[in-house]
Amino acid sequence: MKRIKYKKVRKVQPNYFEYTGIHKTDPVEMQLFVYDDAGYEEYKKISLQKVKKEIEDELQIQDVKWFNVHGLHDVELIKQVGEMLSIEPFIISDVLNINRRSKMEELDNVLFFSIKSILPDDDYDMVSVEQISFLLKDNLLVSFQEKKSDFFTHIRERIKTHSGIVRKKKNDYLLYLLLEAVMENFYITIEFFEDQIEDLMLEAKSSDNPEVLVRIERNREHLNFLKRSILPLRDALFNLKSEHDEEDYDGIEKANYSFFARLHQKALEILEQIEYDMNTLDSASSFYFSSQSHRMNEIMKILTVVSVIFMPLTFVVGVYGMNFKYMPELELSYGYYTIIVIMFFIALGMVYYFKKKKWF
């Protein structure tokens, strides 16, 4: 698990290979799918030598190959993968350095995608963040995951059961499916936070607990992190669309660019929803402060009314508390009761006047 704020890390040089993540306990596992419209083969816990043999097999040169790597902490193994595929060293460095922002790069015959997968954790202060990288080259798609997860289980099932058109398409369509699966996690995360935001709106209207404001700011941090994560992906998908318009890149079939255009549209929808939720939090925060201000004004109004009522009564008491020898009222038999009655009617009259003016 990773805090929602980026931590300050030591700078990593472009060609310096070091895994900067936290998932370093589980063993690295590799999986290979080889498929076409006629059938598929799945290899679990495959060795790198076997992967190389399958990739270079001339009998299945036209087959789509999906090579998935779970775990990045075995740096030497990841370097060997890069050397086997003749990938530029700085790309492998970007795969290992999970503190880089999401990006897309097109180099000769290689398309590189790096994206953050974000899911909520049970702890409100935490989210689960994982960097997933993709390499598209010829008929091969390589995916690098920090740890074993079930993001792509449904895609594997579609390949096995020949569901949909995945086995009729090339690896660019598979890349689209994988990116879409990762982007679905953003929707899940946003929905999770929206449930909290809805509760916060209700609490902001009824509670004066300062913890409400703390939770509002915490959720605003969550949404800001989501926004920082999806913005680079939106830009990358837009750049991919631009390359299609310029017809300079042929790694993706023209018929499949529409799928990536859908992903770009999804990124825009996610950003719009994040902006809406952030505005909702701003409204909740404003409502909370307005409610507290109104509550304080009500208290001050009541105290002011009480003070004003007692001002003339205090004046009367002050007058008759003066130590003059000759004060006619002091000699009256019912002087005390008379003054009490007068004070009572003064207070009653002021209350009636304030009520008539609707001051309270």
List, as one string, the DSSP characters of 279-318.
HHHHHHHHHHHHHHHHHHHHHHHHHHHHHHHHHHHHHHHH
CA nearest 95: which of 63, 65, 122, 71? 71
Which contiguous run of DSSP H or E holds residue 340?
helix 335-356
Q: Name the pairing type of β-strands 29-35 and 2-3.
A: unpaired
Helix axes of 75-84 and 48-56: crossing angle, nearest 10 degrees: 10
For position 299, what pLDDT does the model report? 83
Highest mean pLDDT among 114-118, 200-204, 253-257, 292-296: 114-118
Cβ count near 128 (within 10 Å): 15
Rounded percentage of the chain residues whose pLDDT exceeds 70: 91
Cβ count near 238 (within 10 Å): 16
* Domains of the chain: residue spans and CATH: 29-290 (3.30.460.20), 299-357 (1.20.58.340)
pLDDT tens readout for residues 271-321? 999 999 999 888 888 888 887 787 888 888 888 888 888 898 888 888 888
> Does residue 28 surpass a pLDDT of 70?
yes
For the record, the structure tokens of 289 come out as 């402060």
> Does residue 7 surpass a pLDDT of 50?
no
For position 178, what pLDDT does the model report? 93
CA nearest 263: which of 238, 226, 229, 228? 238
Over residues 119-141, the mean pLDDT reads 81
> Does residue 4 surpass a pLDDT of 80?
no
Handedness of CA 189, 194, 195, 199 (dihedral sign): positive
Binned at pLDDT 50, 70 and 90, residue 5 comes out as very low
pLDDT tens readout for residues 226-244? 898 888 888 888 877 666 5
Over residues 177-183, the mean pLDDT reads 92
> Does residue 2 surpass a pLDDT of 60?
no
For position 274, what pLDDT does the model report? 92
Alpha-carbon distance of 178 to 135, in angstroms, equals 12
Alpha-carbon distance of 8 to 137, in angstroms, equals 34
Highest mean pLDDT among 3-17, 91-105, 173-187, 253-267: 173-187
Highest mean pLDDT among 177-186, 287-296, 350-359: 177-186
Mean pLDDT over the full length of the chain: 84
Q: Note the pTM of the prediction, 2 decimals.
A: 0.76
For position 124, what pLDDT does the model report? 52
81 and 71 Cβ atoms separated by less than 8 Å = no
155 and 177 Cβ atoms separated by less than 8 Å = yes
